A and B are shown apart, each in its own frame.
Chain A
Amino acid sequence: MTDPRTIRIVIVDDHHMFRTGVRAELTSLAASAGAASFQLEIVGEAGAVESAVTAITEQQPDVVLLDVHLPGGDGHGGADVIRACAAVQSRAGVPVRFLALSVSDAAEDVIAVIRAGARGYVTKTISAEDLLTAIGRVADGDAVFSPRLAGFVLDAFGAAAGEVAEIDEELDRLSAREREVMRLIARGYQYKEVAKELFISVKTVETHVSSVLRKLQLSSRHELTAWAMGRRLL
Chain B
Amino acid sequence: MVARAARVGEDGTVQTAYENGTGPVRPAWRATPRPPLVRHRQGKVVAGVAAGLAAHLGVPVNAVRIALVVSSIPFGAGLAVYVFLWATMREVGDVDPAMAAAASPGIDPVTGAPVPGAAATTGAAGWAGAATGPATIGGHQIDLASVRTWLRSGNQAVLITLFGVAALALAGALWLGSAGLDVHAEVILPIVAIVIGAIFFWSQLDDTDAIGARRPVRWIWLVVGLGLTILGLVGLLVRGTNLTELWQVAGAVLAALVGVAVLSAPWVLRLWSNLRLEQAARIRATERADIAAHLHDSVLQTLALIQRQSADAATVARLARAQERQLRSYLYDEDARAGSLGAALTAAMGEVEDLHGVPVELVVTGDRPMDMHLDALVKAVREATWNAVRHASPPVSTYVEVGPDAVEAFVRDHGSGFDLDTVPDDRAGVRESIIGRMERHGGTARIRRRPDGTEVELRLPVGEPPQGDPTATPTATPAPSPSANATPSVPSTPDPKTQEQAS
In the complex, the answer to whether A223 meets B365 with C-beta atoms within 8 Å is no
| A125 to B394 alpha-carbon distance, docked (Å) | 14
B301 within 8 Å of A (CB atoms): no
In the complex, the answer to whether B363 meets A223 with C-beta atoms within 8 Å is no
Q: Which of A32-40, A53-61, A185-193 lies at the interface with chain B?
A: A185-193
In the complex, the answer to whether B475 meets A228 with C-beta atoms within 8 Å is no
A204 nearest CB across to chain B (Å): 20
Please provide the chain A residues from 141 to 183 with a CB less than 8 Å away from any CB of chain B in the complex: 147-148, 150-151, 154-156, 158-162, 183
| A219 to B401 alpha-carbon distance, docked (Å) | 22
- Nearest B residue to A146 by beta-carbon distance? B361
Residues 100-141 of chain A: 1 if any B CB is under 8 Å from the residue's CB, otherwise 0? 000000100001100100000000010000000000000000
| List of B residues within 8 angstroms of A158 by Cβ | 475
Residues 381-423 of chain B: 1 if any A CB is under 8 Å from the residue's CB, otherwise 0? 0000000000000011101011110000010100000000000
| A6 to B139 alpha-carbon distance, docked (Å) | 82
B489 within 8 Å of A (CB atoms): yes
| List of B residues within 8 angstroms of A230 by Cβ | 474-475, 477-479, 481
- The 8 Å CB contact of A234, one of B366, B403, B485, is B485
In the complex, the answer to whether A147 meets B397 with C-beta atoms within 8 Å is yes
In the complex, the answer to whether B487 meets A150 with C-beta atoms within 8 Å is no
Q: Which of B49-57, B94-102, B494-502 lies at the interface with chain A?
A: B494-502
A201 within 8 Å of B (CB atoms): no
In the complex, the answer to whether A226 meets B475 with C-beta atoms within 8 Å is yes
- The 8 Å CB contact of B403, one of A147, A151, A161, A229, is A161
| A150 to B399 alpha-carbon distance, docked (Å) | 10
Contact A155 to B479, CB < 8 A, known contacts A187-B399, A193-B452, A230-B474 = no
In the complex, the answer to whether B485 meets A162 with C-beta atoms within 8 Å is no
| A220 to B500 alpha-carbon distance, docked (Å) | 8
| List of A residues within 8 angstroms of B361 by Cβ | 147-148, 188
| A30 to B206 alpha-carbon distance, docked (Å) | 70
| List of B residues within 8 angstroms of A226 by Cβ | 475, 478-479, 489
In the complex, the answer to whether B475 meets A156 with C-beta atoms within 8 Å is yes
| A111 to B485 alpha-carbon distance, docked (Å) | 18
Give the tally of cross-chain contacts (CB within 8 A): 97
In the complex, the answer to whether B363 meets A147 with C-beta atoms within 8 Å is yes
- Nearest B residue to A224 by beta-carbon distance? B499
In the complex, the answer to whether A154 meets B401 with C-beta atoms within 8 Å is yes
- Nearest A residue to B477 by beta-carbon distance? A230
| A57 to B361 alpha-carbon distance, docked (Å) | 36
- The 8 Å CB contact of A155, one of B359, B404, B475, B481, is B475
| List of B residues within 8 angstroms of A159 by Cβ | 365
| A225 to B483 alpha-carbon distance, docked (Å) | 11
| List of A residues within 8 angstroms of B370 by Cβ | none
Size of B's binding interface in residues, CB under 8 A: 39
| List of B residues within 8 angstroms of A183 by Cβ | 399, 401
| List of A residues within 8 angstroms of B483 by Cβ | 229
- Nearest B residue to A103 by beta-carbon distance? B324
In the complex, the answer to whether A160 meets B474 with C-beta atoms within 8 Å is no
Residues 461-478 of chain B: 1 if any A CB is under 8 Å from the residue's CB, otherwise 0? 000000000000011011
| A150 to B323 alpha-carbon distance, docked (Å) | 25
In the complex, the answer to whether A187 meets B478 with C-beta atoms within 8 Å is no
Contact A223 to B403, CB < 8 A, known contacts A148-B361, A150-B363 = no
In the complex, the answer to whether A151 meets B487 with C-beta atoms within 8 Å is no
- Nearest A residue to B367 by beta-carbon distance? A155
- The 8 Å CB contact of B399, one of A112, A162, A186, A225, is A186
In the complex, the answer to whether B479 meets A222 with C-beta atoms within 8 Å is yes
| List of B residues within 8 angstroms of A186 by Cβ | 363, 365, 399, 401
In the complex, the answer to whether A151 meets B395 with C-beta atoms within 8 Å is no
| List of A residues within 8 angstroms of B490 by Cβ | 222
A49 nearest CB across to chain B (Å): 18
Contact A189 to B499, CB < 8 A, known contacts A155-B365, A161-B404 = no
In the complex, the answer to whether B503 meets A115 with C-beta atoms within 8 Å is yes
- Nearest B residue to A106 by beta-carbon distance? B332
| A150 to B397 alpha-carbon distance, docked (Å) | 13
| A186 to B366 alpha-carbon distance, docked (Å) | 13
| List of B residues within 8 angstroms of A150 by Cβ | 363
A187 nearest CB across to chain B (Å): 4
| List of B residues within 8 angstroms of A228 by Cβ | 503
Residues 217-237 of chain B: 1 if any A CB is under 8 Å from the residue's CB, otherwise 0? 000000000000000000000
| List of B residues within 8 angstroms of A155 by Cβ | 365-366, 475
- Nearest B residue to A125 by beta-carbon distance? B359
A122 nearest CB across to chain B (Å): 12
- Nearest A residue to B492 by beta-carbon distance? A222
| List of A residues within 8 angstroms of B401 by Cβ | 154, 160, 183, 186
Residues 195-234 of chain A: 1 if any B CB is under 8 Å from the residue's CB, otherwise 0? 0000000000000000000000000111101111111011
In the complex, the answer to whether B479 meets A223 with C-beta atoms within 8 Å is yes
- Nearest B residue to A161 by beta-carbon distance? B404
| List of A residues within 8 angstroms of B495 by Cβ | 220
- Nearest A residue to B457 by beta-carbon distance? A187
Contact A154 to B477, CB < 8 A, known contacts A162-B403, A188-B395, A229-B485 = no
- The 8 Å CB contact of A188, one of B364, B397, B499, is B397
- The 8 Å CB contact of A229, one of B397, B487, B500, is B487
B169 nearest CB across to chain A (Å): 55
| A213 to B41 alpha-carbon distance, docked (Å) | 55
| A231 to B481 alpha-carbon distance, docked (Å) | 13
- Nearest B residue to A223 by beta-carbon distance? B475
Contact A151 to B365, CB < 8 A, known contacts A160-B403, A234-B487 = yes
| A186 to B499 alpha-carbon distance, docked (Å) | 27
B392 nearest CB across to chain A (Å): 12
- Nearest B residue to A158 by beta-carbon distance? B475
Please provide the chain A residues from 76 to 107 with a CB less than 8 Å away from any CB of chain B in the complex: 106
Residues 40-66 of chain A: 1 if any B CB is under 8 Å from the residue's CB, otherwise 0? 000000000000000000000000000
Contact A160 to B365, CB < 8 A, known contacts A223-B479, A228-B503 = yes
B455 within 8 Å of A (CB atoms): yes
- The 8 Å CB contact of A147, one of B399, B455, B475, is B399
A-B pairs with lowest CB-CB distance, top 9: A188-B397, A230-B478, A151-B363, A220-B499, A220-B496, A234-B502, A160-B365, A187-B399, A226-B479
> Knowing that A112-B503, A159-B365 are A-B contacts, what are 5 other residue pairs whose CB atoms are under 8 Å apart, sorted by A's residue number?
A155-B475, A187-B399, A187-B410, A226-B489, A234-B503
Q: Can you list 13 pairs linking A and B with CB atoms under 8 Å apart?
A: A115-B503, A154-B365, A159-B365, A188-B395, A188-B397, A188-B412, A226-B478, A227-B474, A227-B475, A230-B475, A231-B478, A234-B487, A234-B499
